[in-house]
Amino acid sequence: MSPIHIFLAVMVAIIFGFGFVPSKIGVASYPPLWFLASRFAIVSLFLLFFIRIPRGQWRAVMVFAFVMGIGHFSLSYLGMKAGADASLAALLWVMQAPISAALAIFILDEKIRPVGILGLIIAIGGAILLVGEPRHTGNYLGISLVGGSAILGAIANILGKRLGAVEPLALQGWSALVALPVLIILSLLFEKNQVSQMISASWEAHGSLLYLAVVSSIIGYGTYWWLLKRYNVGTTISIFLMVPAFGAASGVAVMGDAFTWQTGTGAAAMLIGVSILMLKNNKPKSLKKDST
């Protein structure tokens, strides 16, 4: 990656990492599916009138919206609501990276150099050290939901890469719009007291919703899909490997979590691994056409 693109990648990782705190606040104050529907409603309002309809791409955009919007995010929020702790969520978020890389090798015929694999291993090792061993005895529902979210997130990365002809903000806007009515229906079927809980929610919960909709969805994911159009999946998903480090930082700064030797050592290992992956694992020949 070029220096400016590395800067953008780190910015995205910071945005995603600091998103764990507002996500936890949000699902504690809103019904999870209603919270996600509210997030996508804001995204749709911000982007709908500024993007072109992706003609000829509707079917692919709808599949992406179902996998990413309805599948990935819903399972993530439901898993946190079911009791999956932040460290477990961060660890499974990171697992999108190797799953995405493996899918890209088999589906997109991408190549990762040996030094890139080394960087990936170092970064994953740092992530595991950083998040530690989650305390989730008996919480099989939360584990299954968040684990399924990570798998669907990896699949969405491949689908997003294949939608390279669709502009990043168009992809975000229309996928949010497609997912929105389905999420509303699911919320009405399986949740209750949505409006009353939304009205009685704290300003922190409302602020969390705005952060996730505007900063995370529009700025964060918009930039992420833009980078994915220009680099292979194996390089771009290195962003996910940095997320737990910034997630831990947000926990220390906002939630008062303890800063331990595991936090410092794990974060350092992740940054070293990601640096190797970004700086040494150059774009393969098969992707040159995507960057022109």
Handedness of CA 193, 194, 200, 201 (dihedral sign): positive
Residue 222 has, within 13 A of its CA and on its CB side, a CA count of 19
Domain boundaries, the chain: 3-108+136-237
Tell me the per-residue pLDDT of 185-217, one tens digit each, with 9 for 90 and over.
Answer: 999 999 999 999 989 889 999 999 999 999 999
Tell me the per-residue pLDDT of 21-47, one tens digit each, with 9 for 90 and over.
Answer: 898 889 888 999 999 999 999 999 998
Maximal CA-CA distance, the chain: 55
Q: Is the pLDDT of residue 111 over 70?
A: yes
Gap between the Cα atoms of 270 and 276, Å rounded:
10
Among 96, 95, 72, 57, smallest CA distance to 23 is for 72
Residue 188 has a pLDDT of 94
Which whole number is the average pLDDT over 256-269?
71
Handedness of CA 58, 60, 63, 67 (dihedral sign): negative
Handedness of CA 109, 113, 118, 119 (dihedral sign): negative
Tokens describing residue 191: 């949740």
* Residues whose CB is less than 8 angstroms from the CB of residue 83 and which lie 6 or more positions away in sequence, other chains included: 136, 139, 141, 142
Q: Is the pLDDT of residue 288 over 50?
A: no
Kindly indicate the confidence band of residue 276, based on its pLDDT and cuts at 50, 70 and 90. confident
Kindly indicate the confidence band of residue 136, based on its pLDDT and cuts at 50, 70 and 90. very low
Report the length, in residues, of the chain. Answer: 292
Gap between the Cα atoms of 155 and 260, Å rounded:
34
pTM: 0.81
